[in-house]
Chains A and B, each alone.
Chain A
Amino acid sequence: MTDVSASTTAEIAREYRAERARRAKRAAVLKHIFLALTSLIMIYPLIWMLAASLKPDTQIFGDIGLWPGTFEWQNYAQGWNALPVSFTTFFWNSTVVTVLSVVGNVISCSFAAYAFARLEFSGKTIWFALMMMTLMIPYHVVLIPQYILFMNLGWVDTYLPLIVPKFLAGDAFFIFLMIQFFRQLPRELDEAAMIDGCSPFKIYWAIIMPLSLPAMATAAIFSFIWTWEDFLGPLVYLNDQADYTVPLALRSFISSDGVSQYGPMFAMSILSILPILLFFIVFQRLIIRGIAMSGLK
């Protein structure tokens, strides 16, 4: 009796295991098909652009297929020097504006966030509310007053309107992001540092900032992407083609007389997204490290 039931139990268990494995496999296959399809839809424009950057102009809009018949690598060489000013200059311009913006945003916004999260000053809640309200105002609303302001300062046709505001903690989104992060750091750390002889600045510099690398990296990544691909700001404030940033330069490929060089334009578009990709790859490691560090108590 016991023998029979023992063998049956083992058999039943084996069958259950096998059935479970079959079901898991079926679910996994379905899941991956679904994910692959959705990814393809998301990534299709990028693939299309990559393909277009390698096609001759005549094929770009004429040919439905993605695969270029002939690889027009010279689109890249041509595109780099197609405009009166070389892309070397445009990339350099973009790099200067973007790097300074990222540095400015990370420093100034974290200062403001530290003040809101940790320091006491009069009218703190009112200032905080005001700051949050600026989140709700679209950029286009303040565009004209801002332009008049910078014109009166004589800053139009320079990079100053694109860079200086970044050093003045102008981006409420980053400030808010950092405030939230700082708030979850235990206050006892500040107090221990206070007893250890730290000034409020030293607490920020030696304790809060090193522990907030994930927030800093997030702000840096977003700041980089938004500044690098900003079109409207440079369009409004920069007039001289030699000062153009990459997005403005790309626009120059489309000329009003109808003779547009699409192949070289797409080639340069592909090159223009590489810095963003590189920056993201480098900085996302900090985000992951930050997550690993936050598991302490």
Chain B
Amino acid sequence: MASVTLSEVRKAYSGFAVIHGIDLEVQSGEFLVLVGPSGCGKSTLLRMIAGLEEITDGTISIADRIVNDLPASQRNLSMVFQSYALYPHMSVRKNLAFGLSNLRMPKDEIQRRVADAARILQIEELLERKPRQLSGGQKQRVAIGRAIVREPQLFLFDEPLSNLDAELRVQMRVELAGLYNRLGTTMIYVTHDQTEAMTMATRIAVLNKGNLEQIGTPYELYNAPKNLFVASFIGSPKMNLLSGKATGNKIELPGFGALAFVGAAGEMTVGVRPEHLSIGEPDGRRAEGTVTLVEYLGSEVFIYVALIDGQTLLAQAPGNASYKRGDKVHLSFRGADAHFFDSKGLRIEAPR
């Protein structure tokens, strides 16, 4: 187990900056998920930690040792790649043993570790096969096996589940979480899928355009997003964003009327998660609208409602709710459930 510290880490490709000075502290034994839209620099950041990409500026330390100039093989870490990167000409057994034999480990020790990993990942009967004879999920297991045989102090995952189909992804997610609980090793996991991030992480770091937007537990990110980007990125379906105008002690929201709010003036954005928008309740702030689309998911229903001013909001209702396109409905939410952002998109804590 090792802690990882990034301070002022920058990356530029021939003068073009892609990572703009990131400070990040990963505690020992933590499962940190780096999440963000594609092109936000999360993979680059991971590759810099791995030692596959040079650091333009700043320092990275693993277990309190600065590793800027240390080659990947000496950082005592393992990495699982998106494409698995199994050696196609080697059997599964050789794939697992390859890194260990490079370390000149004794043969019986290699054998023991390969057998252990195979047992944990249930790939014992696949050991003599070549990667091309494996299914996607099996390849994924072997790739993880190759990472755990080295018993590293740090695991890196680069979108490891994105090549799997939806069902297998959920299954591997559970298995990865189980593996983490079992090994307790520090893990850094890159994904663009916020469900993966929410379900597995101890903490999530949200990246956007090479900047760290927020880092915190999934609970913190969901319930107290620091800015509009995090608010709309975390959570599925997305948070509804309403623009309004704050004047002294209230905010004028088109459709909903005035909302009591002290402490800000000017343009504001009010965010309401779909599960906090209720339909048809007579009290509270209400806006009138027309149902434009109903998505039935079994346990719940997503209802798209167009307000009179043209804005479409998404509300979530229990699965037994019966609405259909064209219905006139009233939307309302409680002030305590709303998130407030100023004109720069930064969160303003509502006075309670």
Q: Which residues of A contact B (CB under 8 A)?
A: 186, 188-189, 191-198, 202, 206-207, 210-211, 293, 295-297
Question: Is B14 at the interface (CB under 8 A from chain A)?
Answer: no
Task: Please state if A189 and B85 are interface contacts (CB–CB under 8 Å).
Answer: yes
Task: Please state if B131 and A296 are interface contacts (CB–CB under 8 Å).
Answer: yes
**In the complex, residue of chain A having the shortest beta-carbon distance to the beta carbon of B150:** A196
A198 to chain B, nearest CB (A): 6
Question: Is B182 at the interface (CB under 8 A from chain A)?
Answer: no
Q: Which residue of A191, A202, A293 is within 8 Å of B85 (Cβ)?
A: A191
Q: Which residue of B78, B87, B102 is within 8 Å of A189 (Cβ)?
A: B87
Q: How far is the CA of A194 from the CA of B103 in the complex (A)?
A: 12
Chain B residues with CB under 8 Å of A194's CB are 51-52, 71-73
A295-B132, A296-B132 known; A192-B89 Cβ under 8 A = no
Chain A residues with CB under 8 Å of B131's CB are 296
A191-B52, A202-B102, A296-B132 known; A196-B73 Cβ under 8 A = yes
Q: How far is the CA of A211 from the CA of B132 in the complex (A)?
A: 13
Task: Please state if B102 and A192 are interface contacts (CB–CB under 8 Å).
Answer: no
Task: Please state if B73 and A293 are interface contacts (CB–CB under 8 Å).
Answer: no
**Which size bracket describes the interface of B in this complex?**
20 to 34
A57 to chain B, nearest CB (A): 55
B343 to chain A, nearest CB (A): 44
Q: How far is the CA of A210 from the CA of B87 in the complex (A)?
A: 10
A188-B81, A202-B102, A296-B131 known; A195-B87 Cβ under 8 A = no
Task: Please state if A207 and B73 are interface contacts (CB–CB under 8 Å).
Answer: no
Task: Please state if A195 and B73 are interface contacts (CB–CB under 8 Å).
Answer: yes
Task: Please state if A196 and B83 are interface contacts (CB–CB under 8 Å).
Answer: no
Q: List 12 A-B contacts (CB under 8 A).
A: A188-B82, A191-B79, A193-B98, A194-B52, A196-B98, A198-B73, A198-B102, A202-B102, A210-B89, A211-B89, A293-B132, A296-B131
Question: Is B335 at the interface (CB under 8 A from chain A)?
Answer: no
Q: How far is the CA of A206 from the CA of B102 in the complex (A)?
A: 11
Chain A residues with CB under 8 Å of B81's CB are 188, 191-192
A51 to chain B, nearest CB (A): 46
Q: How far is the CA of A202 from the CA of B71 in the complex (A)?
A: 15
Chain B residues with CB under 8 Å of A192's CB are 79, 81, 85-87, 146
5 nearest A-B pairs in the assembled complex, by CB-CB distance: A196-B99, A197-B102, A188-B85, A197-B73, A192-B85
Chain B residues with CB under 8 Å of A296's CB are 88, 131-132
Task: Please state if B83 and A195 are interface contacts (CB–CB under 8 Å).
Answer: no
B 78-115 contacts with A by CB, 8 A = 78-79, 81-83, 85-89, 98-99, 102-103
Q: How far is the CA of A57 from the CA of B210 in the complex (A)?
A: 83
Question: Is B50 at the interface (CB under 8 A from chain A)?
Answer: yes
Question: Is B206 at the interface (CB under 8 A from chain A)?
Answer: no
A74 to chain B, nearest CB (A): 51
